[in-house]
Amino acid sequence: MSQEILEIDGATMEGGGQILRNAIAFSALLKKPIRVFNIRAGRSNPGLRPQHLAGLLLAKDLTSGRLKGGKVGSTEISFYPGDIQGKKYYADPGTAGSVMLLFQVAFPCLLFADAKSEMNLRGGTNADMAPQIDEVLMVFKPIMEKFGAKFECEIIKRGYFPKGGGEVDFFIEPCAPHLKPVEILDVGNVTGIEGRSYVGGVLSLKMSHGMADSACRYLGNAFPGVNIKIDRVKEPDEMVIGIGSGIVLMAKTDTGCLIGGASLGKRGVSVDDVGEKAAKELEKEIKSSACVDSHVQDQLVIFMALAKGKSRIRIGPPTLHTKTAIWVAELMTEAKFNIIEDGKTMIMECEGIGFERR
C-alpha cells in the first residue's frame, strides 16, 4: 500500500457526506490512504454525524484499516486501509440515519472481497434525503446486475425517523473478476408502472390506499393506457420500529429501463399530496427521456469508474451529486468521464479502470 496520503477537500461542490462515502470506498479498493478535511463544512451542523462515523467505522472494519479523527463532530479524518475480507460485518449509528447510505460505503468494496460477505446494518430504512430501501430493491439492484454486481437482502425490521431501529441483512457476492461496462442509451416506451404504498406503526391501511389512489389518478391521466399496479401495505407490527409512511414508484420500459419516483409521508401533509408528489416526480423523470432517474445517476458513477471498458448512460442534466461523484472518481482513479449533450438529454460516458481484486 502506498503511504503517500491523498488530500481531499470535503467542502468541494456538493460538500456533504457523499464525498466521504465515495472517497472512502475508492481508498479501500485502491489501498490509497486519504485525508479528508472540511467535512460537511457548509452544513448547519458541520463535521461527522453518527451516520457518517458508522460508515467510516464499517470501512475500517472491512479493510482492517486505521482511522484517525473518528468521532462525531470531526471535520477532518485520515484513513489507512488494509485488505478487504469477505465475512460478516455490522454497523449501527444508533440513530435514524439511513441504512442505505451505510450500504453505499461498503457495497463497492465488498464486490472485490475474497469471499461472499454479509452485512447487518441498522438505522432508518425509509429516510429523508437518502434512497428508500424499496427504491434500492426495485430500481438500483436490477441496474447493478447489468454491471455484474449482485446482492440480496432481507429486511428484518423497518425503522422510521426519529427512532430508527431498522435492521437489514445484506448478502454480497464478489464480482468476477471485474465489473462489466454498461450501455443504457435507449429509454424506449413505458409499458407499466409498479409501486409500493406503505404505512407502519399506528397508522391505518386506509392511508396506504389514499397515497396509492392519488398516485394512480395522477399517473392514469399522465400516461393513459399504461397499466398501473401499486401494492398497498400495512407493515406487520413486529417488523416495524416507530411510525412511518410513504410511496415508491417505478416505471418499466420496453427496452428494460427502470425509472423511479418516491415520496415520504410527513406530519401535516395529506395522503393525497404524498401520492401525487411521488407521481409528479415519476412523470418528470419519464418525460426527461433519460434512461435512469436523477436519484440513481450519481450512484452509478463509482461503478462506471471501476468497470473494465467504456460505459455510456443516457441521463438528464447531471445533478450536483453526480458532478461531485465524478470529481471524486477522477481525483482518485485514472477513470475519465465525459458528459455529452445529445438533444434534450445527455450521455454520461466513462472509460473505466478495469479494477480487479488485489
pLDDT tens digits, 243-296: 999 999 999 999 999 999 999 999 999 999 999 999 999 999 999 999 999 999
pTM equals: 0.96
> What does the angle CA 205 – CA 211 – CA 213 come to, to the nearest 5 degrees?
100
Q: Which of 52, 178, 209, 321 is catalytic?
A: 321
184 CB contacts (<8 Å, ≥6 apart)? 143, 146, 257, 291, 292, 312, 313, 314
Q: Which amino acid is at 282?
A: L
151 and 172 Cβ atoms separated by less than 8 Å: yes
User: What is the C-alpha separation between 133 and 20, in angstroms, rounded?
Assistant: 21
Residue ranges of alpha helices (H) inside 67-161 are 99-110, 133-135, 141-146
Q: How much is the CA Rg of the chain, to the nearest whole Å?
A: 20
Percent of the chain with pLDDT over 70: 99
pLDDT at 3 over 80: no
Residue 321 catalytic? yes
- Give whole-number Cα distances, 87 to 27, 38, 116, 156, 274, in Å: 19, 33, 7, 20, 40
Residue among 104, 123, 133 at smallest CA distance from 25: 104
Structure confidence by residue, pLDDT tens digits, 108-119: 999 999 999 999
d(CA 58, CA 119): 10
H or E stretch at 24: helix 17-30
The angle at the Cα of 172, spanning 195 to 64, to the nearest 5 degrees, equals 130
- Of the pLDDT bands very low, low, confident and very high (cuts 50, 70, 90), residue 143 is very high
Mean pLDDT on 1-17? 86
Whole-angstrom Cα distance, residue 17 to residue 35?
14
pLDDT by residue (tens digit) across 52-103? 999 999 999 999 999 999 999 999 999 999 999 999 999 999 999 999 999 9
Q: How far apart are CA 118 and CA 99, in angstroms?
A: 14
Average pLDDT value for the chain: 95
The three cell numbers locating residue 192: 407499466
- What pLDDT was estimated at residue 129? 86
Please determine, for residue 2, whether its predicted confidence score (pLDDT) is greater than 70: no
Q: Which residues of 59-70 are buried (b: 16+ CB within 10 A; e: fewer)?
A: bbbbbebebebb
**Which whole-number Å values give the CA distances from 283 to 132, 136, 280, 293, 337, in the listed order?**
19, 19, 5, 11, 28
Pairwise CA distance, residues 317 & 181, whole Å? 21
> Is 335 within 8 Å of 352 (Cβ atoms)?
yes
Tell me what the mean pLDDT of segment 161-166 comes to.
Answer: 90
| Each residue's pLDDT tens digit, 324-338 | 999 999 999 999 999
Residue 98's beta-bridge partner residues? Answer: 124
- Which grid coordinates belong to 300? 452509478
Q: Is the peptide bond before 177 cis (omega within 30 degrees of 0)?
A: yes
Q: Among 299, 301, 302, 296, which residue's Cα sits nearest to residue 29?
A: 302
State the binding site.
104, 295-299
pLDDT in tens, 44-56: 889 999 999 999 9
The mean per-residue pLDDT over the stretch 163-180 comes to: 94
Range from 118-122, 174-178, 186-190, 230-234 carrying the lowest mean pLDDT: 174-178
Q: Which pLDDT score, from 0 to 100, does residue 65 have?
A: 95
Binding residues for ATP are 104, 295-299
Q: With 90 as the cut, is the pLDDT of residue 176 above it?
A: no
